[in-house]
């Protein structure tokens, strides 16, 4: 039996990038839970170490950035490299947290999961959308 591609297969092939790591699409999945006095963020960062993660607070926005560089070599018995793979990448997410200081935010990292606690009473509500008339 010969495989005949469908129209869907052809469209999927147009957007397929063989060099793109599928796991990079799912990086930094975040769950946000509202508790009585705080918001708790749980962010998945598989493969990252604590030293790979930076958090910055600026103008009411908390930016979480993770970057990683790795190189894997496979050598034969004579020490010749038969395979060399390199990965370099970074990802970041930004969250509006309102008028808080860096001392109000608590964070911990364990087993590929970053947990961040932000006090609830300091987070201001973002206003509704305001539309601007184009003349």
What pLDDT is attached to residue 133? 67
How many alpha carbons fall within 13 Å on the CB side of residue 112?
Answer: 7
Contact 69, 75 (CB under 8 A): no
Q: Which residues pair with 65 in a beta bridge?
A: 54, 92
What residue spans define the domains of the chain? 23-119
Instruction: List all residues 6 or more positions away from 67 whose beta carbon is below 8 Å from its beta carbon.
Output: 52, 54, 89, 90, 91
Give the CA distances from residue 93 to residues 63, 74, 85, 127, in Å, rounded to whole numbers and listed in that order: 6, 34, 27, 21
Architecture of domain 23-119: Sandwich (2.60)
pTM beyond cutoff 0.85? no
Summarised one tens digit per residue, pLDDT across range 41-52 is 999 988 888 999
Summarised one tens digit per residue, pLDDT across range 109-132 is 999 999 999 998 655 555 666 677
What pLDDT is attached to residue 124? 55
Q: Which two tokens stand for residue 103?
A: 């001392």
Mean pLDDT of 1-20: 47
- Residue 90: is its pLDDT beyond 90? no
- Type and span of the H or E element at 41: strand 38-44
Q: Which residues pair with 81 in a beta bridge?
A: 75
Mean pLDDT of 83-99: 84
């Amino acid at each position: 039996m010969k495989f005949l591609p469908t129209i869907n297969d052809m469209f999927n092939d147009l957007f397929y990038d063989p060099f793109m790591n599928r796991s990079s699409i799912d990086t930094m999945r975040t769950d946000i839970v509202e508790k009585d006095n705080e918001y708790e963020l749980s962010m998945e960062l598989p493969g990252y170490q604590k030293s790979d993660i930076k958090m910055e607070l600026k103008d009411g926005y908390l930016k979480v950035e993770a970057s990683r560089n790795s190189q894997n070599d496979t050598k034969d018995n004579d020490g010749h490299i038969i395979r060399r793979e390199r990965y370099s990448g970074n990802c970041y997410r930004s969250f509006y947290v309102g008028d808080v200081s860096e001392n109000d935010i608590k964070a911990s990292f364990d087993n590929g999961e970053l947990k961040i606690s932000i006090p609830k009473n300091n987070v201001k509500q973002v206003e509704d959308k305001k539309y601007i008339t184009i003349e």
